[in-house]
Amino acid sequence: MNTASRADSAPIVSVRDLRVTFNGGKKPVSAVNGVDLSVARGETVALIGESGSGKSVTLRSLLRLHPERRTRIEGRIEVAGEDVLALGSRALADYRGRVASMIFQEPLLALDPVYTVGQQIVESIRRHERISPAEARKRALELFERVRIPSPERRLDAYPHEMSGGMRQRAMIALALACRPQVLLADEPTTALDATVQIQILLLLRELQRELGLAIVFVTHDMGAAVEVADRFAVMYAGRIVEEGPTREVIRNPRHPYTLALMQARADGAMEKGARLASIPGAPPDLAQLPTGCAFAERCTFVQPACLQSRPEAVELGGGHRARCLRTDATAQAVAQSARATANTSILLTETA
Amino acid sequence: MNTTASLPLPQPRTKVEAIERSPGFWSGVLAKLMRDPVALGAGAVLLALIVMAIFANQLLPADPYATSMFKRLKPIGFEGYPLGADELGRDMLSRLMLGTRLSLFMGITPVLIAFVIGSAIGILAGYAGGLVNTLIMRTIDILYAFPSVLLAIALSGALGAGIGNALLSLTIVFIPQIARVAESVTTQVRGRDYVEAARASGAGPFTIVRVHVLGNVLGPIFVFATSLIAVSMILASGLSFLGLGVRPPEPEWGLMLNTLRTAIYSQPLVAALPGVMIFITSISFNLLSDSLRSAMDVKS
Amino acid sequence: MSIGISIEHIGVAADSDRGGPAQPLLTVNGLVKHFDLKKGFVDTVMGRGKVVRAVDGVDFRILKGETLGVVGESGCGKSTTARLLMHLIDPSAGEIVFNGETVGSPALPLREYRRQVQMVFQDSYSSLNPRLTIQDSIAFGPQVHGVPKQEAITRARNLLERVGLEPRRFAGRYPHELSGGQRQRVNIARALACEPRLVILDEAVSALDKSVEAQVLNLLMDLKEEFGLTYLFISHDLHVARYISDRVMVMYLGKVAETGPAEALFEQPLHPYTRALLSSMPSMDPDRRTEEAALAGDPPNPIDPPPGCRFHTRCPLAEAVCSQRAPSLKTRQRRETACLIHEPGSGHSHAAAVAAAVHAS
């Protein structure tokens, strides 16, 4: 891994103290509350969280996709040297698709049903570059080959509804790559797909990242899918990144109680069949009135009075691994304990067998 | 065998305790309407018109039937005639006020009747589906194929002039329109999982329609029906204008518009007044039905 | 506050039980459902038109008190099977035997069957009537079956308490005021209100967040024990299916590929499709990421299923014989497999070796 050389170059995505508030309803909703995130060139970062954690809102802010009138975005977003929040409408249109582009969970809603996929790609290319339709179509064909769509020539002339789910997702990736962006934003791109197709798309994303040097921000609620593609994990809760670090570190050695709880809640995390799953009690906080302390405190097993006083600052754990928690040591202990328990059961199992 | 009967059913072990009740759906809708300035404005105008219609006899400043050869076609603001006088010298203000009664009646009644009949037809077609649906809806389509103005005129013409026949023909015009909307929302609701779940628990079609379908379809149909009131008023005015609805000397806005059209060059403002009333009333109904529609959208 | 209905429920189960625990609660024989595709006028006259073979000859049993998991890709027919079992759609062929009686026969009329079999849907929002309060939704089923209103409401409140929603706070609320997890609890309570013996869970936890999913899975396990329920658990999430099921059935394009005890099936899949499905599961291990997808392409369309074994177009072990002969379900050691490799003398080159291995063991 060339982490050293990556660290040298400036990050291609840099988000500083991002705050997003929606003013549409009765009370303002603080969907994102101070997110710091940087993504290096050619790096894949997974933003992981449950519904309402602010992961998609953060992602959409990178393209400024929120309705302008009802949304207040504060902080600083810099992508490939452009100050995204300061862009005028002309520059913004140019930025979208050329610098950063996005793929969505449901391609059928994201693609235009009245044009063939090929037409949409050609149009997207020609909006950003002055080239002939024939040339643009040639590029589109290359893209289809790139995302491994079988018989690409024929599929270019297909309408979105004529394609199967996995094929549509590939077509949308091709469309997103049409103007050679440097950053690909993926919003739950595999959630609606079958497991057998999901893995194909994840592998494709990994390949594209490697070969095109794309930076990918991958939003998902599924840790399993994230492990397959991400170099780094960023776990979000109530609009903040509560834990961040290299994938291996976060998976093996989670230090935030929420990350640990999320992993233990997975059905494959259960130690044995019939054992109760470790569920997280309660529900996420109301984003319209967040507590003054740590937002996870009321559901946390390791909560202390200090947790309720103020929002915890990030604790550096080395190697780019950090967690916003006062009790990182307690979590570490719990992880060690469960590791011992697993080892014991496996010893027991081998003995009985 | 019937296990249900032999079941020792649990006795209510506690007195039914008090529970927190959420405000019902309709009180939520009302609360939203009360916060909507457009709805409040339109509602206030309609309320004023209804009050005027009910208490017309007490409120009239002058006799709306009293003619005067010397006061024909007087302008707005003429002494003793705040809104002028019509072609027979009758007080416009009094006639417009009394006209509210007939005009609102002609606007609302056919829609109300059509709402009941059309909803029943549409819900039946939508819930039954299949062949029943095809038969009902194709028949409806035949009626629907005629432009509503033409159909109303043709029916009134065939039935003969008079208020009763005008109401009947308007009702027939609106039934297919309401039935179509009712059919489409019912078809939608029928596909929802809660209707499937109700079927899966063994409920019969009438129970399902009563408990699960009606509550969810009547709202949208009602919204559509309120928007038809404006159309109905205009059509009724049109029929009166052609001499197929209300007969003179009864004041009705459409009829007044008709008789005053000869004065369009001499007293254009006076001649336009009944039209203004029709416009104000119909736009109020339209705005109110729009507000109602958005207030009934639970998710927003 | 204790639960009023648990004891009575078990009483019913014992009363109406037939054939002892060895007899399956539900037996499905040759279940078929074909949907006619919308066709043009000419096609109708000519009598042609395409058919979706959503479920194409499915046999299985659900034993008393077990959880049968059903997994497979989209279009494999698992949800259609659920709807057929609920009689929400009529089967094109096949029979369903519940507790020893054919469903729809005079001995077990549909209405009585429906009380004993209930379903929980995936979409927690659209499966609750938005105009009814939670308690009215739950009390609806029992009222249909003749329980007086007041009593049905008491039952609804007890069930709310049981699924972890405080009746005083939740009984009078409307569905849109609840979170997804809470709504799914309500749906579970609604399904239990008729005191069923079999509950069909059609992707019941798929739309929930992982932490909420764990809560609901725990709840389902508790309820099963408390009320002596039998589950048919449909899921696209193999981890969840493995966790909750006693036996698992794998479906592919309207047919059963493999059935067996969950642990055995996941540890040692027999059917090549099961193997491919399992290896598509993300590993959760950053050092052992998947390097190659087990299957290429999307699941094929059930409109024109391939001849022979339906999986032969994607199967890594397919041979010529697989496109000619359709395998049938073969039972061995509580496991059933529909694959020519596991059919001695089928003509597949692996078949002999497998037979020899079986013989040796």
Chain C positions touching A266 (Cβ under 8 A) are 210, 214, 239, 284
Contacts of B156 (CB under 8 A, 6+ apart): B165, B166, B169, B239, B244, B245
Of the partner residues B4, B13, B19, the one whose CB lies closest to the CB of residue C172: B19
Number of residue pairs across B and C with CB atoms under 8 Å?
Answer: 134
In terms of CA atoms, which chain C residue is nearest residue B23?
C173
Q: Which contacts (CB < 8 Å, 24+ apart) does range A112-115 have? A: A112/A160, A113/A159, A113/A160, A113/A161, A114/A159, A115/A159
Average pLDDT, chain A: 86
Could you tell me the CA-to-CA distances from C148 to B13, C143, C153, C246 in Å, in that order? 15, 6, 9, 37
Verify whether the Cβ–Cβ distance A227 to C285 is below 8 Å.
yes
Of C309, C121, C85, C279, nearest in space to C203 by CA: C121
Which of C234, C250, C266 delimits the end of a domain? Answer: C250
Distance from the A83 Cα atom to the nearest Cα atom in chain C, whole angstroms: 34
Distance from the A190 Cα atom to the nearest Cα atom in chain C, whole angstroms: 12
Chain A positions touching C280 (Cβ under 8 A) are 195-196, 198-199
Helix/strand/coil for B208: helix
DSSP state of C91: -
DSSP letters spanning C280-332: TS--S-TTS---S-SS-SPPPPTTSPPSSSTTTTT-TT--GGGGT-----EEE
Q: CB of C59 within 8 Å of any CB in chain A? A: no
Contacts of A310 (CB under 8 A, 6+ apart): A292, A293
Could you tell me the CA-to-CA distances from C340 to B181, C252, C295, C324, C355 in Å, in that order? 55, 15, 19, 11, 11
In a domain, C270, yes or no: no
CATH number at residue C190: 3.40.50.300
The phi, psi pair for B88, rounded to 5°, reads -110, 10
Verify whether the Cβ–Cβ distance C221 to A261 is below 8 Å.
no
Q: CB of C230 within 8 Å of any CB in chain B? A: no
Number of residue pairs across A and C with CB atoms under 8 Å?
Answer: 130
The amino acid that residue A208 corresponds to is L
Q: CB of A192 within 8 Å of any CB in chain C? A: no
**Can you list the alpha helix ranges (DSSP code H) found in chain B?**
3-6, 25-35, 37-54, 56-59, 92-128, 130-144, 148-159, 163-190, 193-200, 205-208, 214-241, 253-260, 268-295
Q: CB of C146 within 8 Å of any CB in chain B? A: yes
pLDDT for A274 equals: 64
Cβ(B231)–Cβ(B148) below 8 Å: yes
Cα–Cα dist B107/B282, whole Å: 9
Verify whether the Cβ–Cβ distance B22 to C133 is below 8 Å.
yes
Q: CB of A266 within 8 Å of any CB in chain C? A: yes
In terms of CA atoms, which chain B residue is nearest residue C174?
B22
Cα–Cα dist B33/B48, whole Å: 18
Contacts of A338 (CB under 8 A, 6+ apart): A264
Of the partner residues A200, A270, A283, the one whose CB lies closest to the CB of residue C293: A200
Verify whether the Cβ–Cβ distance C298 to A194 is below 8 Å.
yes
- Let me know if A143 is exposed, middle or buried by CB neighbors in 10 A (0-12, 13-18, 19+): buried
pLDDT for C38 equals: 66
Distance from the A353 Cα atom to the nearest Cα atom in chain C, whole angstroms: 15
Distance from the A22 Cα atom to the nearest Cα atom in chain C, whole angstroms: 20
Structure tokens at B51: 């009050």
Of A241, A228, A237, A152, nearest in space to A189 by CA: A228
Helix/strand/coil for C17: coil
With contact defined as 3+ CB pairs under 8 Å, the chains touching C are A, B
Q: Is the dihedral of CA C234, C239, C240, C245 positive or negative?
A: positive
Verify whether the Cβ–Cβ distance A195 to C277 is below 8 Å.
yes
Distance from the C167 Cα atom to the nearest Cα atom in chain A, whole angstroms: 17
Helix axes B214-241, B163-190, angle to 10 degrees: 150
Could you tell me the CA-to-CA distances from C96 to B297, C29, C361 in Å, in that order? 42, 6, 36
Structure tokens at B225: 């029906």
Core vs surface per residue B151-161: b (16+ CB within 10 A) or e: bbbebbeeeeb
pLDDT for C13 equals: 43
pLDDT for B7 equals: 41
In terms of CA atoms, which chain C residue is nearest residue A228?
C289
- Let me know if C22 is exposed, middle or buried by CB neighbors in 10 A (0-12, 13-18, 19+): exposed
Of the partner residues B20, B22, B200, the one whose CB lies closest to the CB of residue C88: B200
Q: How far apart are the first and last CA of chain A?
A: 40
Q: CB of C354 within 8 Å of any CB in chain B? A: no
DSSP state of C230: E
Cα–Cα dist A308/A296, whole Å: 10
pLDDT tens figures, A115-155:
999 999 999 999 888 889 999 999 999 999 989 888 888 88
Token pair 């500083």 in the structure block, residue: A16
**Can you list the alpha helix ranges (DSSP code H) found in chain C?**
6-16, 41-46, 78-85, 110-116, 134-144, 149-162, 167-170, 180-192, 210-227, 238-244, 262-267, 272-279, 349-360
Report whether pLDDT(A172) > 50.
Answer: yes
DSSP letters spanning A10-78: PPSEEEEEEEEEE-SSSS-EEEEEEEEEEE-TT-EEEEE--TTSSHHHHHHHHHT-S-TTTEEEEEEEE
pLDDT for A349 equals: 52
Of the partner residues C5, C118, C150, the one whose CB lies closest to the CB of residue B201: C118
Domain coordinates in residue numbering, chain A? 3-113+174-242, 114-173, 252-352
pLDDT for C237 equals: 87
User: For B101-295, which CATH superfamily applies?
Assistant: MetI-like (1.10.3720.10)
Other C-beta atoms closer than 10 Å to the C-beta of B235 total: 27
Q: Is the dihedral of CA C159, C161, C165, C167 positive or negative?
A: positive
Could you tell me the CA-to-CA distances from C169 to B2, B29, C173, C174, C187 in Å, in that order? 35, 22, 8, 11, 17
In a domain, C273, yes or no: no
Verify whether the Cβ–Cβ distance A262 to C218 is below 8 Å.
no
Of A209, A223, A213, nearest in space to A147 by CA: A209
pLDDT of chain C, 361 residues: tens digit per residue: 444 444 344 434 444 566 677 789 999 999 999 988 765 556 555 656 678 889 999 999 999 999 999 999 888 899 899 999 988 888 999 999 998 899 988 888 888 898 899 999 888 888 999 889 999 999 999 999 889 999 999 999 999 999 988 888 888 888 888 888 899 999 999 999 989 999 999 999 888 888 888 889 999 999 999 999 999 999 988 888 988 999 999 999 999 999 999 999 999 999 999 999 998 888 788 888 888 888 887 888 888 888 889 899 888 888 888 888 889 888 888 899 999 888 887 778 887 777 677 666 5
In a domain, C66, yes or no: yes
Helix/strand/coil for A322: strand
Cα–Cα dist A267/A224, whole Å: 12
Cα–Cα dist A244/A190, whole Å: 22
DSSP letters spanning A141-188: HHHHHHTT-SSHHHHTT--GGGS-HHHHHHHHHHHHTTT--SEEEEES
Core vs surface per residue C124-151: b (16+ CB within 10 A) or e: bbbbbbbbbbbbbbbbbbbbbbebeeeb
Cα–Cα dist C194/B205, whole Å: 18
Q: How confident is the model at residue B266 (pLDDT cuts 50, 70, 90)?
A: confident
Structure tokens at A17: 């103290």
Q: CB of C195 within 8 Å of any CB in chain A? A: no
pLDDT tens figures, B220-245:
898 899 888 888 888 888 888 788 87
The phi, psi pair for A93, rounded to 5°, reads -60, -35
Q: How far apart are the first and last CA of chain B?
A: 49
pLDDT for B47 equals: 93
Fold of A3-113+174-242: Rossmann fold (3.40.50)
Cβ(B226)–Cβ(B289) below 8 Å: yes
Structure tokens at A225: 């899918």
Chain A positions touching C177 (Cβ under 8 A) are none
Cα–Cα dist A110/A291, whole Å: 36
DSSP state of C349: H
Distance from the B91 Cα atom to the nearest Cα atom in chain C, whole angstroms: 51
Domain coordinates in residue numbering, chain B? 101-295
Of C288, C238, C289, C292, nearest in space to C267 by CA: C238
Report whether pLDDT(A267) > 80.
Answer: no
Cα–Cα dist C148/B149, whole Å: 52
Domain that holds residue C148: 6-250
Mean pLDDT, rounded, for B268-293: 86
Q: CB of C164 within 8 Å of any CB in chain A? A: no
| B28-42, B141-155, C46-60, C226-240: range with lowest mean pLDDT | C46-60
Q: CB of C79 within 8 Å of any CB in chain B? A: no
Verify whether the Cβ–Cβ distance C147 to B9 is below 8 Å.
yes
Average pLDDT, chain B: 83
For residues C164 and C239, state if they share a domain: yes
Could you tell me the CA-to-CA distances from A71 to A23, A24, A31, A286 in Å, in that order? 6, 8, 10, 18
B274 preceded by a cis bond (ω within 30 of 0): no
Q: How confident is the model at residue A229 (pLDDT cuts 50, 70, 90)?
A: very high
Core vs surface per residue B112-149: b (16+ CB within 10 A) or e: ebbbebbbebbbbbbbeeeeebeebbeebeeebeeebe
Which is higher by pLDDT, A268 or A34?
A34
Q: How confident is the model at residue A9 (pLDDT cuts 50, 70, 90)?
A: low
**Could you give the number of structural domains in chain C?**
2
Of C204, C158, C197, nearest in space to C181 by CA: C204
